[in-house]
């Protein structure tokens, strides 16, 4: 059973460094308040059951209106923040429902958090009690004296930059706050409070995109990142192509039966110029159809001696190369083979593996089904085998 986890979002900053009239968390990012971007991510994370938002007292009404306007259903409480971040997080902690086991503390000003990173931190915290996102320091770090001179270069091998979320078991976090209060300790983050208590915290690899918006330059960077996401989404949806292929070959004695590149033991085989692999032919035609580039016969004519007896997987490879040239990636394939005999079920996995390898996609992207026609028609009379294929292609974004 997954633990009951709640998010605490301290949004107490008043945006002094931003020179804004509104606190930065309410200022728009691509037309939507920064805080809403952050909260939407928690809405989309199944493991999070409630969200406690901590805002300056004078902005509580505005926050409440925003929650309604953007239909954020997981925000259960909006509580006033304190002077320091630590006070705000503590206020949030006190407002959590009693059944919550893990507190997921996340900066309101990190809108590029993802459900996947939240869940990775939560899984690590369930194991160790506490875990947080962080990334290795990239820049060379210098220690500088008050006089503005470099004292030394700090070994950055073991230096990590703290991010959020910081996920802590609620009882540990309560204890950390109690000890901090007793000893007048102020930490810059929750990890600091745990360190003060002498408790270890696991580090989870964060993301370079999980930036904290602190300066006007950060806001520009965030706008650019959002615009890129939007463009990628558009190019993916705009560039979807569907294709259909159908093929049939006659069954004769004295020929091998090859389906999806796999040699299948049977007393008859398919007749044709190449290996007569009806399944692969239907798939190639579906791909060419999605690309609007004609059919297999146009690209590899029967009259061309180069293709006599060739494995149809070679043709499939060339068709896939054609798709790649047009910057299309294969999303998925669904093929139905119509054959009275032999039984294909025992061979389907091997065929999928062969095709996935040639098409360079995951096994899950290749579906192969087989059916009989209950003795009806040419397939039912075992005069031949036919195959239907559909494919979906997606245009790759220009890098
Ligand atoms: Mg054919």
Read off the pLDDT of residues 51-86 as tens digits, 9 standing for 90 and up: 999 999 989 999 999 999 999 999 999 999 988 889
Q: What is the pTM of this model?
A: 0.62
* Ligand 1 geometric centre to CA of 370 (Å): 17
* Ligand 1 geometric centre to CA of 394 (Å): 26
> Tell me, what's the pLDDT at 20?
59
For residues 298 and 311, give the distance between their C-alpha atoms in angstroms, rounded to a whole number. Answer: 17
> Tell me, what's the pLDDT at 21?
64
* Ligand 1 geometric centre to CA of 248 (Å): 6
> Tell me, what's the pLDDT at 1?
56
* Ligand 1 geometric centre to CA of 363 (Å): 24
**Pairing verdict, β 141-144 and 262-264:** unpaired
> Tell me, what's the pLDDT at 310?
86
For residues 206 and 256, give the distance between their C-alpha atoms in angstroms, rounded to a whole number. Answer: 54
Length of the chain: 399
**Pairing verdict, β 150-154 and 262-264:** unpaired
Homologous superfamily (CATH) for 236-395: 2-C-methyl-D-erythritol 2,4-cyclodiphosphate synthase (3.30.1330.50)
The answer to whether the beta carbons of residues 42 and 48 sit under 8 Å apart is yes
> Tell me, what's the pLDDT at 275?
93
pLDDT, averaged per 10 consecutive residues of the chain (399 residues), comes to 89 62 80 93 94 94 94 95 90 95 96 94 95 94 93 90 97 94 89 91 94 90 87 68 97 96 96 93 98 94 82 95 91 97 96 94 93 96 98 77
* Ligand 1 geometric centre to CA of 74 (Å): 56
For residues 323 and 331, give the distance between their C-alpha atoms in angstroms, rounded to a whole number. Answer: 12
* Ligand 1 geometric centre to CA of 281 (Å): 5
Phi, psi of 127 (to 5 degrees): -75, -45
For residues 129 and 173, give the distance between their C-alpha atoms in angstroms, rounded to a whole number. Answer: 10
* Ligand 1 geometric centre to CA of 275 (Å): 9
* Ligand 1 geometric centre to CA of 303 (Å): 14
> Tell me, what's the pLDDT at 157?
85
* Ligand 1 geometric centre to CA of 285 (Å): 9
Which letter does DSSP use for residue 189 in this model? S
Which letter does DSSP use for residue 397 in this model? P
* Ligand 1 geometric centre to CA of 280 (Å): 8
> Tell me, what's the pLDDT at 399?
41
* Ligand 1 geometric centre to CA of 249 (Å): 6
* Range list of H helices, 44-78: 60-69
* Ligand 1 geometric centre to CA of 58 (Å): 73
Phi, psi of 395 (to 5 degrees): -70, 135
Domain 5-234, what fold? Spore Coat Polysaccharide Biosynthesis Protein SpsA; Chain A (3.90.550)
> Tell me, what's the pLDDT at 109?
93
> Tell me, what's the pLDDT at 274?
85
* Ligand 1 geometric centre to CA of 277 (Å): 7
* Ligand 1 geometric centre to CA of 194 (Å): 68
DSSP bridge pairs for 160: 136
* Ligand 1 geometric centre to CA of 276 (Å): 6
> Tell me, what's the pLDDT at 357?
92
* Ligand 1 geometric centre to CA of 258 (Å): 12
Q: How many CA atoms within 13 Å lie on the side-chain side of 336?
A: 10
> Tell me, what's the pLDDT at 235?
62
> Tell me, what's the pLDDT at 366?
96
Tell me the domain boundaries of the chain. 5-234, 236-395
> Tell me, what's the pLDDT at 19?
59
* Ligand 1 geometric centre to CA of 274 (Å): 8
* Ligand 1 geometric centre to CA of 271 (Å): 9
* Ligand 1 geometric centre to CA of 307 (Å): 12
The answer to whether the beta carbons of residues 25 and 106 sit under 8 Å apart is no
* Ligand 1 geometric centre to CA of 243 (Å): 17
* Ligand 1 geometric centre to CA of 247 (Å): 5
* Ligand 1 geometric centre to CA of 314 (Å): 14
Q: What percent of the chain clears pLDDT 90, i.e. is strictly above it?
A: 74
């Amino acid at each position: 059973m997954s633990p009951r986890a709640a998010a605490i979002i301290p949004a107490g900053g008043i945006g002094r460094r931003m020179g804004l009239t509104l606190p930065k968390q309410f200022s728009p990012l691509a037309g939507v308040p920064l805080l809403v971007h952050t909260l939407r991510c928690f809405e989309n994370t199944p493991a999070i059951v409630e969200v406690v938002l901590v805002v300056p007292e004078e902005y509580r009404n505005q926050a409440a209106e925003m929650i309604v306007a953007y239909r954020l259903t997981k925000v259960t409480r909006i509580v006033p923040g304190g002077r320091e971040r630590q006070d705000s997080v503590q206020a949030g902690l006190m407002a959590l429902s009693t059944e919550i086991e893990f507190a997921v503390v996340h900066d309101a000003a990190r809108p590029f958090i993802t459900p996947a990173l939240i869940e990775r931190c939560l899984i690590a915290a369930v194991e160790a009690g506490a875990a947080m996102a962080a990334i290795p320091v990239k820049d060379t770090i210098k220690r500088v004296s008050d006089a503005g001179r470099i004292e030394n270069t700090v070994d950055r091998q073991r230096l990590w930059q703290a991010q959020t979320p910081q996920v802590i078991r609620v009882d540990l976090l309560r204890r950390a706050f109690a000890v901090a209060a007793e000893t007048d300790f102020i930490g810059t983050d929750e990890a600091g409070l745990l360190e003060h208590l002498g408790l270890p915290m696991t580090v989870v690899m964060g993301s370079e995109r999980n930036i904290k918006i602190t300066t006007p330059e950060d806001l520009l960077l965030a706008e650019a990142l959002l615009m890129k996401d939007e463009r990628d989404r558009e190019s993916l949806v705009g560039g979807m192509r569907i294709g259909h292929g159908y093929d049939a070959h006659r069954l004769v004695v004295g020929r091998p039966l090859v389906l999806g590149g796999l040699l299948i033991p049977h007393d008859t085989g398919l007749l044709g110029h190449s290996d007569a692999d009806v399944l692969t032919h239907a798939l190639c035609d579906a791909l060419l159809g999605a690309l609007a580039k004609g059919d297999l016969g146009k690209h590899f004519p029967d009259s061309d001696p180069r293709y006599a007896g060739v494995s149809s997987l070679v043709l499939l490879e060339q068709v896939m190369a054609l798709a790649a040239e047009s910057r299309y990636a294969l999303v998925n394939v669904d093929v139905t083979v119509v054959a009275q005999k032999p039984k294909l079920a025992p061979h389907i996995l091997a065929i999928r593996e062969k095709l996935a390898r040639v098409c360079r996609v995951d096994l899950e992207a290749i579906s192969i089904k087989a059916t009989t026609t209950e003795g009806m028609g040419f397939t039912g009379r075992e005069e031949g085998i036919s195959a239907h294929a559909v494919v979906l292609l997606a245009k790759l974004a220009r890098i």
